[in-house]
């Protein structure tokens, strides 16, 4: 069943509504939806409904609310050092499937890719479209915001908004540090906000480690194998899901 | 530090040896290694050594053995329904980084991609090269074998080689089944062999579910969000690592 997001508040049952122009085009022109065909529509505040196509083939009506626990019990924001080529697109798609609450990219000291203000705007637009598509396909109740931060300082100023800030650090993994991430998940309570920071391909620089830990971040290792920059965020999100949704 | 695999048995300390032609070319011509430069070399039976380049810039000598626990405590084989385009290449790279012991692909009922014998040979060769590169980069002690099975029957006949056979089934996830995978990991003992089966983009057919479960496979759900075919294996491998290596 197709799923769409609407920014409006959830209408009452049997009330008619229309989707955004782009989603309407997708549903009626691309998918050729017929009268009474059912789709899931998520309204503002993560309100999920079963809705049906009206005879006019332009509007829909709300059939009823669906109560589903779809989102991760923790709000996990991932912040990745700006990676090369289309890896940020890849991370955005996969992290959205895996339940990320928000996705940030920051210009790390060892990021090879540099983006000027104009490119940031364009790329951000594309990334948010990818997040929307992935959120629809994975039947999320929200679309993660994707933001490219202009500087590392912007990332540091966000730390105070989170209950825990973790930094995935290859050197921690190499030195056999295996307990910190598990400990962090054990102490995290439902609804808490986690920020997990990852380096670009070259890793996180010593200066960045100093800056992050000075602001209260904890270093975590992700096991004994070296993961590429774009793989580590998927590991973390999978682990959070496994621990919080399957194991508990 | 670069890492290479050698098929020969580990030579004694201070014994000279040479790498395969392709690896020698990479080390001496591409990387321009100099005398006394150190590399990690994994010999047969997962024997990891620190080795050094000799003055001839052709051979190396073993300095000493390195004792490292790098491989997952469970042997996890993933079997994926043949997916579209280059997704098998993607899965091979990422599953190798995440510690897969072996990677199988099988022609699922709903696989869109069909490969004839000639294409299977060519693709298998490419996939094994990708696995080798990813194993080197992630500092594994082994290179996972990648095999494309000619039929689903081939997959079924392998079941008896494993301690547990699990099938990641979207419908299990949809019906809220969340405990089976965690239960399976709780009961798995170190050194056991797990086979985890995934469908192609279209999912696993009801006939396949019947065939798999008749041969003793258990169905598992991977949380409430719908993952793409290429994402689910990464979730499983990450969860195994988190549970076995970080949480325990």
Q: Is residue A70 situated within a structural domain?
A: no
**Interface of chain B against chain A, CB under 8 Å?**
68-70, 94, 97-99, 137-140, 178-179, 181-182, 221-228, 231, 234-235, 238-239, 241-243, 245-247
> Which of the listed residues A65, A83, A103 is the one where a domain comes to its end?
A65
Angle between the N-to-C axes of helices A232-241 and A87-97, in degrees from 0 to 180, rounded to the nearest 10: 0
Q: Cα dist. A238→A158, A178, A235, B66, B122 in Å?
A: 24, 16, 5, 30, 32
Together in a domain, A47 and A93: no
- What pLDDT, on a 0 to 100 scale, did the predictor assign at position A222? 95
CA of A175: which chain B residue's CA is closest? B68
The pLDDT, as a whole number, for residue B84 is: 95
How many contacts does A have with B, using Cβ atoms within 8 A? 116
Q: What is the mean pLDDT of residues B12-23?
A: 95
What is the nearest CA distance from B237 to chain A, expressed in angstroms?
8
pLDDT value for B66: 94
Q: Based on the domain organization, do A238 and A150 belong to the same domain?
A: yes
List the single best residue of A40, A188, A242 to mutate versus B (max B Cβ within 10 A).
A242
* Per-residue pLDDT reduced to its tens digit, B128-186: 999 999 999 999 999 999 999 999 999 999 999 999 999 999 887 777 777 899 999 99
For residue B182, the chain A residues in CB contact (below 8 A) are 242, 246-247
B185-203: average pLDDT: 96
Those residues with Cβ within 8 angstroms of residue A133's Cβ, 6 or more apart along the chain or in another chain: A93
* % of chain B at pLDDT higher than 90: 94
Task: Name the band, by pLDDT with cuts 50, 70 and 90, for residue B48.
Answer: very high
Q: Which residues on adjacent β-strands are paired with residue B48?
A: B42
CATH code for position B176: 3.40.1280.10
Residues A15 and A115 in one domain: no
Which CATH number goes with the domain that contains A17? 2.40.240.20
**Environment class of A181 (CB within 10 Å of its CB; exposed 0-12, middle 13-18, buried 19+):** buried
pLDDT at B172: 79
Amino acid A103: pLDDT? 98
Considering the domain architecture, whether residues B167 and B86 belong to the same structural domain is answered as yes
The ipTM of this complex is 0.94
Q: How many domains does chain B have?
A: 2
Interchain CB distance below 8 Å, A178 and B245: yes
Q: pLDDT means per 10 residues in chain A (248 residues)?
A: 94 95 96 96 95 97 94 98 96 98 97 93 97 96 97 96 96 79 95 98 95 96 94 98 94
Asked if residue A108 is part of any domain, the answer here is yes
Token couple for B129:
């090269």
Q: Residue B226: its chain A contacts at CB < 8 A?
A: 97, 137-139
Q: Of B41, B65, B89, which closes a domain? A: B65
Taking each helix axis from N to C terminus, what angle separates A117-137 and A87-97, rounded to the nearest 10 degrees?
A: 30
**Domain containing residue A224:** 75-247
Instruction: Decide: A110 and A202 in contact? Cβ < 8 Å.
Output: yes
Is residue A182 located within the same domain as residue A104?
A: yes
Interface contact flag, B247 A182, Cβ < 8 Å: yes
The C-alpha atoms of residue A132 and residue B169 are separated, in whole angstroms, by: 24
Reduced to 3 states (helix: H, G, I; strand: E, B; else coil), residue A38 is strand
pLDDT tens by residue, B200-238:
999 999 999 999 999 999 999 999 999 999 999 999 999
Same domain, A86 and A136: yes
Rounded CA gap, A147 and A162, in Å? 17
Whether residues B241 and A235 touch (CB distance < 8 A) is answered with yes
Determine, for residues A242 and B234 on separate chains, whether the beta-carbon distance falls below 8 Å.
Answer: no
A127 CB-side CA count, 13 A: 26
Judge if A90 and A7 occupy the same domain: no
| Residue B158 and residue B101 in contact, taking contact as beta carbons nearer than 8 Å | no
Integer Cα distance of A91 and A108 in angstroms: 16
B104 shares its domain with B195? yes
Q: Is B70 contained in some domain?
A: no
**pLDDT value at position A71?**
97
Q: What is the pLDDT of residue B248?
A: 84
CA A75, A78, A82: angle at the middle one, nearest 5? 160
**Interval B150-166: pLDDT, tens:** 999 999 999 999 999 99
Torsion of CA A142, A184, B166, B134, to 10 degrees: 90
As a whole number of angstroms, the distance between CA B65 and CA B215 comes to 43
Q: Do A47 and A97 share a domain, yes or no?
A: no
Domain check: are A146 and A120 in the same one? Answer: yes
Residue B243 distance to chain A (closest CA, Å):
8
Q: Are residues A132 and A209 in the same domain?
A: yes
């Amino acid at each position: 069943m197709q799923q769409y997001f609407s920014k409006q508040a959830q209408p009452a049952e049997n009330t008619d509504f229309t989707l955004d122009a782009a989603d309407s085009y997708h549903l009626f022109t691309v998918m050729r939806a017929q009268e009474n065909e059912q789709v899931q529509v998520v309204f503002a505040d993560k309100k999920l409904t079963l809705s049906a196509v009206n005879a006019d083939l332009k509007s829909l009506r709300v059939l009823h609310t669906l109560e589903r626990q779809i989102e991760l019990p923790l709000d996990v924001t991932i912040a990745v050092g700006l990676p090369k080529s289309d890896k940020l697109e890849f991370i955005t798609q996969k992290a959205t499937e895996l339940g990320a609450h928000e996705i940030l990219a920051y210009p790390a000291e060892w990021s090879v890719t540099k983006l000027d203000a104009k490119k940031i705007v364009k790329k951000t637009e594309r990334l948010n479209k990818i997040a929307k598509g992935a959120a629809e396909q994975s039947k999320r109740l929200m679309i993660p915001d994707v933001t490219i931060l202009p500087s590392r300082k912007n990332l540091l100023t966000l730390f105070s908004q989170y209950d825990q800030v973790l930094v995935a650090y290859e050197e921690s993994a190499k030195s056999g540090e295996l307990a910190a991430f598990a400990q962090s998940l054990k102490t995290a309570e439902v609804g808490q906000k986690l920020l997990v920071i990852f380096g670009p391909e070259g890793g996180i620089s010593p200066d960045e480690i100093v800056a992050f830990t000075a602001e209260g971040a904890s270093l975590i290792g992700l096991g004994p194998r070296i993961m590429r920059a774009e793989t580590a965020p998927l590991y973390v999100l999978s682990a959070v899901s496994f621990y919080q949704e399957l194991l508990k």
